[in-house]
Structure 1
Amino acid sequence: MKERLKPLFLQKQEALLRRLPKIHKLYPKIERDYKKSLAGYNGEKSIDYFLSYLKEEYLIFHNVRLLDRKHYFQMDTLIITPSFACILEVKNIAGSIYINEETGQMIRTLDGKEEGFLSPLIQVRRQQEHFSLWLKEQKIPNIPCIGFVVLSNPSTILKSSNSLILQAARIPSKFLHLENKYKEIKLKKQSINRLSARITDSHTENDVSIIEHYQLLKSEIITGVQCPFCETIPLMKTFGFWACQKCGQKSKNAHTKALTDYKLLFSERISNREVRSFLHIKSSSSAKRVLQKLHYPFTGNTKDRIYYIKSNQSEK
């Protein structure tokens, strides 16, 4: 019902790494953060194979972020069945983990080094509470809500016996158990359709400014069109092409990715002057032609016109 797409913040991290000088003092930290985000996303994707074994009539929503009164909460995977709802908190963790339920801490041991994290069991329980309250606010019939922590990395060594923590490969058998335990139909087809529409309509993307998140200045970002072949910035616009002086390749559409970077880093709103500055285009008429060919929607008259960069196709 809601596909698993590359998270917006992950896309923003990629754009930032493309356009921040590698000598910048924050580059190593941003790169580390990106690798963690990417590992989490890859971990979430890896459970999709096991989810494919579930009944076709079950509704699956990925990365849903809802508002419960005054708190937003996000679920990696939400599964709605006629008899129960299930939340999966996916963790892609290397090494061995031990979860201390008394302290609410998860201890990860990797290469002889121990690190402490908040227990994912606390996270998934909090999501259950939020979602149950959200269902009540939506006047949806009360249904059991179960939550599991799913370990997507098969090499993770789990040193805990809690039945709410499972390897991804156990998802199909766990659902067979749930189906036998929760047999009473709580949601008829009409109610499920209504709930599905409510979840989809209520989802709100967490669209934070990555420039503000890392406390960067706009002037620190590298401008210009990037070569799709060797990644050199900037390209030169000549005779309808973007030409790379380093590898000699040419491209007609390399500017579209540059404008997507602008949207991810700064804003979906862009003026002719900002297009010229970011793409390194000299004349306003040339910038106007670039924008017109992209068919971006706009507001305002010719002088004060603001264009809206179309949503980029999120990667799966």
Structure 2
Amino acid sequence: MGERPYPLELLQLESMLRRLHQGHLERERIADQYKRIEAGFSGEQKVDQYLEGLRLPGEWWILRDIRLRIHESHVAQFDTLLVTDHGIGIIEAKLIKGTLHYLQNPRRMERNEEDGSILTFDCPIIQLENQKEGLIDWLRQRNLMTSVSGVVAFASRNTWIGLPESAPIVSVKELPYIMRRDFGSATPGDTPANMIVSRILEEQLGPECLEVDQRYGITPHEFKRGLLCEKCNDKLKWRTRRTLECPNCGPQVGHPVEQALLDYFLLINRFVTTREFCWFTGIPSISTGHRYLSRFKLDVLGSTNKRAFRFDPLKHLAGKSLILKR
């Protein structure tokens, strides 16, 4: 299956927490969002772990982090799709610890916190139902005929109160059994799995990079500029023309230039000129800034005097790092 891509939204939130000053009004909200997305990613990794040894008859594929446009104004995102000759299984991962209450009217989940407060979660069953309807509609529009089912897989041990017996909520440990039960001996669909997979991969939209100013109301001038220490996020100082030092942690041993460039792409703009890069990082020499930019695999636009570099996460990002030129 390969390694699940690190979520672009998590990278963006990490950059925001690194670049915002400690007293910024939005830090707490962003930190809470980071914890939520990180927990979701951990749940998805647990799903991968339990599907790793899965064996099914015929042809089948596991697709992860798929975004498909269902209609002009509707994009559906799927954590994991199991595509087989016998149908498609949607697997939505959740990592929410503790005792969970399932409530009706409106359908939702609640958890009692230690301080006596109640934390409310959106209903995962409704989310799964919407995803099934969206995928069925997407397949129908393209005359791809197969069945669609799905489960919500919880990666933590939970005690449930009020959960209906028919609810499609399972433990990740049950996934191999459920996938073999549902897709190991079922009647094949009209459309082979390889045709469906090819169409999904052809039309998938790739990761969504949200505009920081639109979603969080944070403008570029609110972020710290300069090269930052990987340990304390304080601004680094140049000891010599080639070495950096943190006032708190001493000589720098990480990759602050690469991190600063990725921060710029995630928070400011997907396009950067050498002059803008030097302004953001504090690199004093245009030639040095250009040398750094030229090390990375980026799209190069324009002539020599007006050259810009464009970042495309699908092409230029591997895990948490920008891809270097060979």
With structure 2 as the length reference, what TM-score do the two structures score?
Answer: 0.87
How far apart are the structure 2 equivalents of 1:2 and 1:187? 29
What residue is the counterpart of 2:50 in the other structure? 50
| 2:275 maps to 1:273 | yes
User: One-letter code of the match for 2:294?
Assistant: Q
Q: Encode CA deviations 1:246-271: one digit per residue, 9 max, x unaligned.
A: 43314584311110111111222101
Q: Aligned partners of 2:111 and 2:301: how far apart in 1?
A: 52
Is 128-137 or 92-101 further displaced after alignment?
92-101
> 1: CA distance between counterparts of 2:243 and 2:118?
53
**What whole-Å deviation, never above 9, does each CA across 1:40-80 have from its counterpart, x for those lacking one?**
11111112221123226431111211011221011111111
Counterpart selection for 2:318 from 304, 313, 316: 313
Indicate if the aligned counterparts of 1:94 and 1:110 stay in contact, CA closer than 8 A.
Answer: no
- Counterpart among 62, 74, 77 of residue 77 in structure 2: 74
Structure 2 CA distance for aligned equivalents of residues 114 and 252 of structure 1:
42
> Does structure 1 retain, via aligned residues, the 8 Å contact 2:274–2:290?
yes
* Alpha-carbon spacing, 1:229–1:24, altered in 2? closer, same or farther (3 Å): closer
Give the distance between the partners of 1:125 and 1:151, measured in 2 at CA: 17
Q: Find the partner of 1:282 among 284, 299, 305.
A: 284
Matches within 5 A, 1:242-253: 242-251=244-253, 253=255
Instruction: Name 1:135's counterpart in structure 2.
Output: 139
Distance 1:237 1:220, change over 3 A: farther
Alignment partner of 1:232 out of 223, 234, 239: 234
Give the C-alpha shift of residue 84 in structure 1: 1.4
Per-residue CA shift, 1:79-136, capped at 9, x if unaligned? 1111111111211112222323553222333435433333111110110010011111
Give how far 1:239 is off: 2.6
CA contact (8 A) 1:241 1:251 kept: no
Offset of 1:274 from its aligned partner? 0.6
Matched with 1:304 is 306
Q: Identify the residue that residue 182 of structure 2 maps to in structure 1.
A: 178
Q: C-alpha separation between the residues in 2 aligned to 1:289 and 1:168? A: 47
Q: Summarize the Cα distance change of 1:125–1:229 in structure 2 as closer, same or farther, 3 Å threshold.
A: closer
- Mapped to 1, the partners of 2:16 and 2:211 lie a distance apart of 11
Shift of 1:186: 1.5
Alignment of 1:128-207 (within 5 A): 128-140=132-144, 142-154=145-157, 156-159=158-161, 160=163, 161-179=165-183, 183-186=186-189, 191-204=192-205, 205-207=207-209
Cα distance change, pair 117–229 in 1 and its aligned pair in 2 (3 A): closer
Aligned to 2:264: 262
Retained in 1: the 8 A contact 2:15–2:266?
A: yes
Q: Distance in 1 between matches of 2:301 and 2:239?
A: 27
Moved more, 163-172 or 245-254: 245-254
SS of the residue corresponding to residue 182 of structure 2 reads helix
Could you tell me whether the CA contact under 8 Å between 2:80 and 2:90 is conserved in 1? yes
| Alpha-carbon distance in structure 2 between the residues aligned to 1:99 and 1:148 | 16
Conserved 8 A contact 2:125-2:167: no
CA distance in 2, matches of 1:176, 1:293: 47
Aligned residues: 311
Q: Which amino acid aligns with 2:80?
A: T
Change in CA separation of 1:295 and 1:236 when aligned onto 2, cut-off 3 Å? farther
Counterpart among 220, 242, 246 of residue 218 in structure 1: 220
2:319 maps to amino acid:
S
Please list the CA deviations of residues 269-297 of structure 1 after superposition, one character each: whole Å capped at 9, or x if unmatched: 10122111111022323322332344644
Counterpart check, 1:123 vs 2:130: no
Q: Structure 1 stretches of 5 or more lacking a match?
A: none
Aligned partner letter, 2:133: E
2:209, 2:266 within 8 Å by CA — same for their partners in 1? no
SS at structure 2 position matched to 1:61: strand
- Would you say the 8 A contact 1:63–1:76 is kept in 2? yes
SS of aligned partner of 2:112:
strand
Is the 8 Å Cα contact of residues 78 and 86 (structure 1) preserved in structure 2? Answer: yes
Give the unaligned 5+ runs of structure 2: 322-326
Write the letter of the residue equivalent to 2:172.
Answer: A
Letter in 1 for 2:151: F
1:146 to partner: Cα distance? 0.6
Over the residues paired in the alignment, what is the CA RMSD in angstroms?
2.4
- The sequence identity of aligned pairs, in percent, is 26
- CA drift of 1:169 comes to 0.9
